[in-house]
């Protein structure tokens, strides 16, 4: 794509950090990993942090470390990336999909409470697109029903709920550093928690089930190779050093989109005014007006691609996907939102000229599709 959907922000500092690791001869389980964990712990305000190979790996080891498994139900949104549900299924627990709030696109607390059964053990809350879910209400529901609260903050580093960083209100929080995220380690993730024992278990599980003090070939339990290398950790340290200007730049780009698209009645802009918290802009996702269908949305995305402008369909509802999740039930807000969302190009190096071009092309494509559909309706009459 001439204007891609996303792109990492890599500077000479990250390159120098990685080169220094390569010259050090210590490529795994070394000082950069410890340094990244310590810096991340301080940044989010959690006592313990354990780096892992991906956000998905982080979700998996948290689900396992918390003892969720056969017969257990975990409430989770369907409007999210499939990793959240897969991590539950890895341990043979059952994801229970509930609907979302149409404003924040996060779990609707009323739907969460209605979905609780005697088998419910946990709520896995996702902070969608960098907007915090209502942690106060969800934590109260979890406490009332003696449930575990897990935060999937993979899209939300730096986001806040009433002055507190997301990821620090539940039993554990999980962050992801894929190249399209606010900061990246190429591949990588982080688990944060205030529970020392849980942190130790996560560190054991990520490293083949070894515990502190074990010999290299001694294993306390079945574990995984979910380690984060020193190369990735070195990138993470440098990226985290720049996180505030990175988040500020992304907010500037979001504001630029808002200013250009605000007067178009066919477009619903993403949540901007958020008095309960601070948004960490992961993506910029607009919605088409209610009278547009999914097919029309797809036509707009395809037309943008012909102009070499990358757009995304965020998210395909999990409950409508593979046979592992398709159960025939409906989530009306989720489905309505998912049918009309379009993620626009969003990355730190996006220029004002490119934002202009994206907005101009988007509005032209939407207008063309609207006229085409109107013509079809008139011909049918």
Residues linked to residue 192 through DSSP beta bridges, in sequence order: 49, 173
Distance, in Å, from the CA atom of 249 to the CA atom of 52, rounded to the nearest integer, reads: 27
- Give me the long-range contacts of 257-261 (CB less than 8 A, separation at least 24): 257/284, 257/286, 257/344, 257/355, 257/358, 257/359, 260/355, 260/356, 260/359, 261/286, 261/359, 261/362, 261/363
Catalytic residue, chosen from 137, 164, 165, 181, is: 181
Residue 379 and residue 372 in contact, taking contact as beta carbons nearer than 8 Å: no
Q: What is the DSSP letter of 251?
A: H
Return the SS3 of 329.
Answer: coil
Q: List the 160-161 sheet strands across, edge first.
A: 164-165, 160-161, 277-278
* Phi and psi at residue 353, to the nearest 5°: -60, -40
Distance, in Å, from the CA atom of 68 to the CA atom of 91, rounded to the nearest integer, reads: 7
181 counts as catalytic = yes
Q: What is the DSSP letter of 282?
A: S
Sequence-ordered list of residues with C-beta below 8 angstroms from that of 258, at least 6 positions apart, any chain: 269, 272
Angle between helices 243-261 and 352-380 (to 10 degrees): 40
Distance, in Å, from the CA atom of 381 to the CA atom of 371, rounded to the nearest integer, reads: 15
Other residues' Cβ atoms within 10 Å of the Cβ of residue 204: 21
Residue 160 burial (C-beta neighbours within 10 Å; 0-12, 13-18, 19+): middle
Catalytically active residues are 181
């Amino acid at each position: 794509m001439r204007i891609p959907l996303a792109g990492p922000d890599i500077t000479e500092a990250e390159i120098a950090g990685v080169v220094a690791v390569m010259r050090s001869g210590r490529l795994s389980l070394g000082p950069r990993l410890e340094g990244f964990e310590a810096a991340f712990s301080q940044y989010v305000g959690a006592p313990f942090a354990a780096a892992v190979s991906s956000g998905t790996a982080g979700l998996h080891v948290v689900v396992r470390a918390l003892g969720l498994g056969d017969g257990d139900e975990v409430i989770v949104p369907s409007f999210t990336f499939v990793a959240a549900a897969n991590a539950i299924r890895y341990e043979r627990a059952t994801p229970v999909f509930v609907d979302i709030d149409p404003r924040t696109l996060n779990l609707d607390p009323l739907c969460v409470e209605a979905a609780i059964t005697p088998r419910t053990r946990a709520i896995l809350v996702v902070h969608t697109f960098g907007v915090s879910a209502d942690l106060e209400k969800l934590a109260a529901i979890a406490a009332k029903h003696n449930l575990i609260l897990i935060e999937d903050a993979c899209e939300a580093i730096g986001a806040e709920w009433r002055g507190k960083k997301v990821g620090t209100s539940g039993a554990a929080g999980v962050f992801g550093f894929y190249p399209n995220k606010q900061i990246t380690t190429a591949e990588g993730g982080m688990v944060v928690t205030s529970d020392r024992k849980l942190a130790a278990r996560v560190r054991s599980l990520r490293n083949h089930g070894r515990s502190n003090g074990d010999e290299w070939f001694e294993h306390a339990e079945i574990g995984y190779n979910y380690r984060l290398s020193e190369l990735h950790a070195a990138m993470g340290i440098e990226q985290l050093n720049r996180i505030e200007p990175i988040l500020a730049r992304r907010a500037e780009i979001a504001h630029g989109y808002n200013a250009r698209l605000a007067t178009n009645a066919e477009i619903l802009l993403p949540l901007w005014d958020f008095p309960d918290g601070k948004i960490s802009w992961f993506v910029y996702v607009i919605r088409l007006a209610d009278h547009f269908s999914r097919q029309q949305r797809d036509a707009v995305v395809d037309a943008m691609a012909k102009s070499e402008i990358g757009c995304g369909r965020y998210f395909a509802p999990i409950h409508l996907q593979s046979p592992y999740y398709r159960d025939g039930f409906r989530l009306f807000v989720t489905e309505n939102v998912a049918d009309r969302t379009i993620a626009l190009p969003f990355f730190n190096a996006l220029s004002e000229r490119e934002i202009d071009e994206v907005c101009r092309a988007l509005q032209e494509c939407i207008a063309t599709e609207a006229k085409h559909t109107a013509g079809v309706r008139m011909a049918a009459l």
